Amino acid sequence: MNTINKVQLIGELKNTPELSVVNGLKIARFVVSTCDYYRVNGSMIMEHQWHNVVAMGQQASLVAQNFSKGDELILEGSIVRRKVSNGHKDAFTLTEVLVKNVLLPFAHRA
């Protein structure tokens, strides 16, 4: 059986991307909020999801130069999980979206 790990998000940046350089590689970290709408007993329900996102290399530069908090963002990527330690004995698994492609919404195109 073939499998695929692909994510497409259209959402709002909840923070300005934080750009850093690690071993010469540019990395941008940010949070994207999306909404799902559905009905329950005739009432419209809006459910927000917050996604931790990481962009690397050229995609990191593109995001850092063109987007800030509150902007709409369209991206494609994959889901990745990694173990994170808080410096003590506690460790947890962090789920993130690793960006493969960022699409500029119409308002951002020159």
The 10s digit of each residue's pLDDT in 40-65 is 999 999 999 999 999 999 999 999 99
Strands 25-40 and 43-56, sheet pairing: antiparallel
- Report pLDDT digits (tens) over 22-32: 999 999 999 99
Amino acid 55: pLDDT: 98
CATH H-level, domain 7-108: superfamily: Nucleic acid-binding proteins (2.40.50.140)
Question: Residue 92 and residue 24: Cα distance in Å, rounded?
Answer: 27
Q: Kindly indicate the confidence band of residue 107, based on its pLDDT and cuts at 50, 70 and 90.
A: low
Amino acid 64: pLDDT: 94
pTM of the model as a whole: 0.85
With tokens 């009432």, the residue in question is 43
Q: Percentage of the chain with pLDDT > 70? A: 95
What is the b/e burial string over 42-60, where b = at least 16 CB atoms within 10 angstroms of the residue's CB? eeeeeeeeebebbbeeebb
Mean pLDDT across the chain, nearest whole number? 92
Amino acid 89: pLDDT: 74
92 contact partners, CB below 8 Å, separation of at least 6: 83, 84, 86
Q: Are the CB atoms for 22 and 57 separated by under 8 Å?
A: no
